[in-house]
């Protein structure tokens, strides 16, 4: 998934700012995973949305991040995130998710000073 991934794909899969409003976080995940095209061929098992401006995420690759090997960088600041995990037995087009929200640092892969991949974000 990392190979050929692009900045645009990173934004589509992982950036939602300001956070899309929904009655609750479970509905948020069900709606946004579908809207962002992450439930087409299969229900993507886990995906994190970061509720921050793209500029703050690009900055991780330049000055607001710490290199941790390869092209991976840990963010200096914490971000508000929602992590969606698929419920067992879900099948497209009816992918169902449970949600976890929190504030956490993130780890991204950078190519040409742009984030192109988000490492799985585990909320406590």
Active site residue 117: yes
**Which of 81, 79, 66 shows the shortest CA–CA distance to 32?**
81
Active site residue 17: no
Helix (H) or strand (E) holding 18: none
The active-site residue, picked from 14, 36, 44, 58, is: 14
Torsion of CA 51, 53, 55, 58, to 10 degrees: 20
| DSSP 8-state symbol, 37 | T
The active-site residue, picked from 29, 83, 117, 118, is: 117
- Render the burial of 20-30: b for 16+ CB within 10 Å, e for the rest: eeeeebeebbb
| Catalytically active residues, by annotation | 14, 117
């Amino acid at each position: 998934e990392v190979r050929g991934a692009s900045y645009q794909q990173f934004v589509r899969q992982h950036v939602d700012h300001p956070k899309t409003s929904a009655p609750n976080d479970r509905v948020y995940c069900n709606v946004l995973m579908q809207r962002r095209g992450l439930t087409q061929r299969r229900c993507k098992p886990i995906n994190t949305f970061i509720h921050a401006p793209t500029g703050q995420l690009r900055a991780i690759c330049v000055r607001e991040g710490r290199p941790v090997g390869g092209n991976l960088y840990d963010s200096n600041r914490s971000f508000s995130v929602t992590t969606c995990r698929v419920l067992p037995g879900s099948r497209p087009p009816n992918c169902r998710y449970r949600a976890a929200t929190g504030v956490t640092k993130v780890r991204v892969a950078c190519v040409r000073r742009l984030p192109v991949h988000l490492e799985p974000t585990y909320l406590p």
